[in-house]
């Protein structure tokens, strides 16, 4: 074992301290597995050691198998075999965990005879988030240690469990501030005693009916995702088989999922998330410190943004124009925290702490000391430009000024100030304190450190940032507007709202787009259509069904009627809407026809991919993965398909281009195939082959 090897042994008297040192996260790569296996073999043979501790250098214990290895054949020694050698060791082996022991990392710890957790550490089996199940004994050893129902919860949620809960579950033997010293001490005490091997234990008595009831609910909630159901299958085996048989079956399920499209899609999104934060020419270290922020506007968005910032520990001043509006905003924020306390997410004292970070004022001059000011006022360009002109004279030099606009031209907003280089867009998604996605809109004049500041703020808020350029609707809303038009066309051509929503929900969308429109309110897009009417291209097909519904006050769920009827909290098909739609088709001379679920999905997918190709070609989005992240994190696109561009590559861009050409033939102007899509097809290339712009 050489010093540069990722696994080394440091003697601590008669305890072998096995240190895994493989930055950045000590993933259980092939060299790590090999080194660990050699260390365990040496422990058995070396009479100088009575016991061993497995610990890690760097920021965390093993954070899982090396996901980058999953696209190539697994190389021995395989993790399950290494773990059997640990568990079967004649000498005690204790895991000393810090950071986050996840996936294969926790499985290494489960194969040890005891586990010590640093007080700040956490553990988890997040494999289902990658479309996998634990593949090295997690589904077999965990239930033996903490019981079937607790194991069901941890494995199918993939959630991380903090130290105290891990201790109370019986997952670890002790929590200690110095996890390595405590582990060495414990290892010494275990010498000569009877070793506790999880694999040799029986699954504790369990309530099978309760387990199955929870399992059924989990599978239902997983919708089209496979991993949760497969994990439940593997868990059931733990109660029926010995460890060897159970692990063999678990491994087979794991390998099947690892080779499947869903895991490939989810691993694509995993790495896309980490790529998204990398912007050429933007050095994260240049980010300006942000500790105190100002939020202007305490409506739904402003209140959500204020909560997101307070949750992250920032000092927040919320500004409104009148005392009445300010009080309404404060009450909105407090009710958000009351709901969090009621649901058990936070305690009352945490609510007090977070509310204590919020100040409320009608005096915009009080923002003069703020590091960052973000506005969430009425979605009107002139209103925002006026506000930024005022802010220009209030904000301190070096402050960052941000707009939460969802589609307006941020360049024009920046030009209202004498400091356009300090302005950017921070497009939150509602509810702003819940949705992870945030589009960071980079203007033509923004300084790189201002973009870095936006990225740093997003990370501090626990958000998923995607950097984009300026265009109408940026990435997500622009793509949504495009496929929403196709949906209007299909309503006029022959489909009904519930048919469109059913087809797209079966495809995997979290909620049908017409039900979503009813939830968001039809009046918002109606106002926009009226504002754009004068400049709308007369050559483009325009459907008036939405206008008819709004003229009747059918603004959606809030009005009790929209595309659907809402009575007794139920969403119902409304024959009046069917009649309105049929009248509109008749007025256009359209003979309605049945539109199959396949056609509905094809036309929506074609519109998404075609618009995305234009967004990439214009440089508004940096890379295809960024668009996949926006659509899966902001618009309900099924993550297990990897996002629209990952799925388009899998289906074959030639098929997509054929649909796009049919759309152009049928719907005319504005639906021409995107040049980038045609180029990729002509060259036999994929979106994945596109290098960063």
- Find the shortest distance in angstroms from Cβ 103 to ligand T1G: 2
Q: Could you tell me which stretch among 103-111, 219-227, 390-398, 670-678 binds ligand T1G (CB under 6 A)?
A: 103-111
Report d(CA 351, CA 255) in Å as an integer. 45
Contact pattern for ligand T1G over residues 327 through 356, marking x by CB under 6 A: ------------------------------
Give whichever of 138 and 508 is closer to ligand T1G, judged by the CB atom.
138
Q: Which entry of 87, 107, 499, 611 is annotated as an active-site residue? A: 107
- Find the shortest distance in angstroms from Cβ 107 to ligand T1G: 6
Out of 274, 285, 342, 539, the only residue in the binding site for ligand T1G (CB under 6 A) is 274
> Which segments of 161-201 does DSSP mark as H helices, in order?
163-169, 179-190
Out of 7, 17, 37, 63, the only residue in the binding site for ligand T1G (CB under 6 A) is 63
> Which segments of 427-467 does DSSP mark as H helices, in order?
448-460
- Please, what is the Cα angle at 343 between 340 and 345, to 5 degrees? 60
**Nearby residues of 675 by Cβ (< 8 Å), 6 or more positions away:** 613, 617
Residue 270 vs residues 68, 157, 464: alpha-carbon distances, Å: 11, 17, 11
- Find the shortest distance in angstroms from Cβ 92 to ligand T1G: 24
Q: Which entry of 127, 228, 439, 499 is annotated as an active-site residue? A: 127
Q: Is the dihedral of CA 414, 417, 420, 421 positive or negative?
A: negative
- Find the shortest distance in angstroms from Cβ 459 to ligand T1G: 8
Give whichever of 274 and 342 is closer to ligand T1G, judged by the CB atom.
274
- Find the shortest distance in angstroms from Cβ 29 to ligand T1G: 8
Give whichever of 183 and 276 is closer to ligand T1G, judged by the CB atom.
276
79 binds ligand T1G (CB under 6 A): yes
- Find the shortest distance in angstroms from Cβ 657 to ligand T1G: 32
What is the footprint of ligand T1G within residues 389-448 (CB under 6 A)?
A: none
**Nearby residues of 681 by Cβ (< 8 Å), 6 or more positions away:** 653, 654, 657
Report d(CA 411, CA 406) in Å as an integer. 13
What angle, 0 to 180 degrees and rounded to 10, lies between the N-to-C axes of helices 243-259 and 227-238? 170
If we measure between CA atoms, which residue out of 367, 358, 357, 361 comes closest to residue 390? 367
Q: Could you tell me which stretch among 131-139, 230-238, 359-367, 534-542 binds ligand T1G (CB under 6 A)?
A: 131-139
Report d(CA 662, CA 666) in Å as an integer. 6
Report d(CA 363, CA 30) in Å as an integer. 60
Q: Could you tell me which stretch among 99-107, 181-189, 302-310, 428-436 binds ligand T1G (CB under 6 A)?
A: 99-107
Out of 35, 92, 126, 634, the only residue in the binding site for ligand T1G (CB under 6 A) is 126
- Find the shortest distance in angstroms from Cβ 36 to ligand T1G: 13
Report d(CA 446, CA 93) in Å as an integer. 54
What is the footprint of ligand T1G within residues 209-248 (CB under 6 A)?
A: none
Residue 287 DSSP class? P
What is the footprint of ligand T1G within residues 25-54 (CB under 6 A)?
A: 25, 27
What is the footprint of ligand T1G within residues 547-606 (CB under 6 A)?
A: none
103 binds ligand T1G (CB under 6 A): yes
Instruction: Identify whether 678 is a catalytic site residue.
Output: no
To 10 degrees, the CA torsion angle through 94, 100, 104, 106? 40
Residue 69 vs residues 22, 262, 650: alpha-carbon distances, Å: 15, 17, 20
Q: What is the largest CA-CA distance in the chain?
A: 92
**Nearby residues of 220 by Cβ (< 8 Å), 6 or more positions away:** none
- Find the shortest distance in angstroms from Cβ 365 to ligand T1G: 38
Q: Could you tell me which stretch among 56-64, 82-90, 407-415, 621-629 binds ligand T1G (CB under 6 A)?
A: 56-64
Out of 132, 186, 234, 269, the only residue in the binding site for ligand T1G (CB under 6 A) is 132
Residue 592 vs residues 24, 493, 539, 604: alpha-carbon distances, Å: 59, 5, 22, 19
Q: Could you tell me which stretch among 20-28, 189-197, 336-344, 507-515 binds ligand T1G (CB under 6 A)?
A: 20-28
Applying CB under 6 A, what is the total number of residues that bind ligand T1G?
25
Give whichever of 135 and 473 is closer to ligand T1G, judged by the CB atom.
135
Burial of 366 (0-12, 13-18, 19+ CB in 10 A): middle
Give whichever of 254 and 671 is closer to ligand T1G, judged by the CB atom.
254
Q: Which tokens is 531 given?
A: 């504002």
3-state secondary structure of 142: helix
Instruction: Identify whether 127 is a catalytic site residue.
Output: yes
If we measure between CA atoms, which residue out of 92, 206, 100 comes closest to residue 149? 206
Query: Applying CB under 6 A, which residues contact ligand T1G?
Result: 24-25, 27, 60, 63-68, 79, 100, 102-104, 107, 126-127, 130, 132, 134-136, 138, 274
List the catalytic residues: 107, 127
């Amino acid at each position: 074992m050489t010093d540069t090897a990722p696994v080394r042994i440091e003697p601590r008297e008669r305890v072998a301290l096995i240190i895994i040192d493989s930055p950045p996260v000590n993933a259980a790569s092939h060299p790590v597995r090999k080194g660990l296996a050699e260390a365990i073999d040496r422990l058995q043979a070396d009479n100088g050691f009575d016991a061993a501790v497995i610990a890690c250098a760097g920021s965390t214990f093993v954070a899982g198998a090396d996901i980058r290895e999953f696209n190539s054949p697994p190389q021995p020694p395989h993790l399950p075999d290494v773990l059997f050698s640990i568990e079967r060791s004649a000498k005690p082996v204790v895991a000393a965990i810090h950071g986050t022991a996840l996936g294969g990392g926790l499985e290494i710890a489960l194969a040890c005879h005891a586990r010590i957790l640093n007080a700040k550490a956490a553990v988890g089996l997040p494999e289902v988030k990658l479309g996998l199940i634990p593949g090295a004994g997690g589904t077999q050893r965990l239930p033996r240690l903490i019981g079937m129902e607790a194991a069901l919860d941890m494995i199918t949620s993939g959630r991380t469990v903090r130290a105290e809960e891990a201790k109370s579950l019986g997952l670890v033997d002790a929590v200690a501030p110095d996890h390595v010293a405590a582990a060495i001490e414990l290892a010494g005490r275990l010498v000569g005693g009877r070793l506790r091997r999880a694999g040799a234990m029986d699954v504790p008595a369990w309530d099978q009916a309760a387990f199955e009831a929870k399992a059924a609910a989990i599978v239902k909630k997983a919708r089209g995702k496979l991993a949760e159901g497969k994990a439940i299958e593997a868990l059931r085996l733990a109660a029926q088989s010995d460890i060897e048989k159970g692990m063999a079956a678990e491994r087979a399920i794991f390998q099947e999922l690892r080779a499947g499209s869903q895991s490939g899609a989810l691993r694509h999104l995993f790495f896309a998330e980490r790529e998204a934060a990398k912007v050429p020419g933007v050095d994260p270290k240049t980010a300006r410190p942000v500790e105190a922020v100002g939020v202007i506007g305490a409506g739904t968005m402003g209140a959500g943004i204020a909560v997101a910032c307070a949750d992250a520990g920032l000092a927040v001043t919320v500004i409104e124009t009148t005392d009445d509006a300010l009080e309404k905003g404060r009450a909105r924020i407090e009710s958000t925290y009351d709901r969090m306390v009621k649901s058990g997410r936070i305690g009352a004292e945490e609510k007090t702490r977070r509310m204590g970070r919020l100040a409320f004022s009608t005096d915009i001059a009080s923002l003069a000391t703020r590091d960052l000011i973000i506005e969430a006022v009425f979605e009107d360009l002139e209103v925002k430009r006026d506000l930024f002109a005022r802010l220009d004279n209030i904000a301190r030099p070096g402050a960052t000024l941000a707009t939460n606009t969802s589609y307006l031209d941020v360049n024009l907003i920046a030009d209202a100030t004498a400091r356009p280089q300090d302005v950017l867009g921070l497009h939150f998604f509602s509810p702003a304190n819940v949705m992870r996605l945030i589009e960071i809109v980079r203007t033509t004049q923004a300084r790189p450190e201002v973009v870095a500041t936006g990225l740093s703020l997003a990370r501090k808020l626990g958000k998923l940032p995607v950097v984009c350029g300026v265009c109408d609707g940026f990435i997500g809303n622009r793509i949504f507007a495009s496929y929403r038009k196709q949906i209007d066309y299909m309503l006029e051509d022959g489909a009904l709202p519930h048919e469109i929503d059913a087809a797209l929900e079966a495809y995997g969308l979290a909620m049908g787009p017409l039900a979503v429109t009813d939830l968001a309110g039809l009046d918002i897009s109606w106002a926009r259509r009226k504002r754009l009417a004068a400049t709308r291209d007369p050559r483009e097909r325009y459907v008036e069904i939405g206008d008819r519904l709004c003229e009747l006050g059918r603004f959606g769920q809030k009005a009790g009627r929209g595309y659907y009827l809402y009575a007794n909290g139920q969403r119902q098909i409304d024959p009046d809407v069917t009649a309105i739609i049929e009248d509109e088709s008749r007025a256009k001379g359209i003979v309605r026809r049945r539109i199959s679920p396949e056609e509905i999905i094809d036309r929506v997918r074609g519109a998404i991919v075609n618009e995305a190709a234009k967004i990439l070609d214009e440089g508004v989005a940096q890379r295809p993965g960024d668009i996949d992240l926006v659509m899966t994190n902001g618009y309900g696109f099924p993550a297990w398909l990897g996002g629209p561009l990952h799925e388009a590559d899998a289906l074959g861009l030639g098929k997509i281009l054929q649909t796009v050409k049919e759309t152009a033939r049928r719907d005319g102007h504005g639906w021409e195939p995107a040049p980038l899509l045609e180029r990729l097809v002509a060259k036999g290339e994929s979106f994945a082959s596109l290098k960063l712009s």
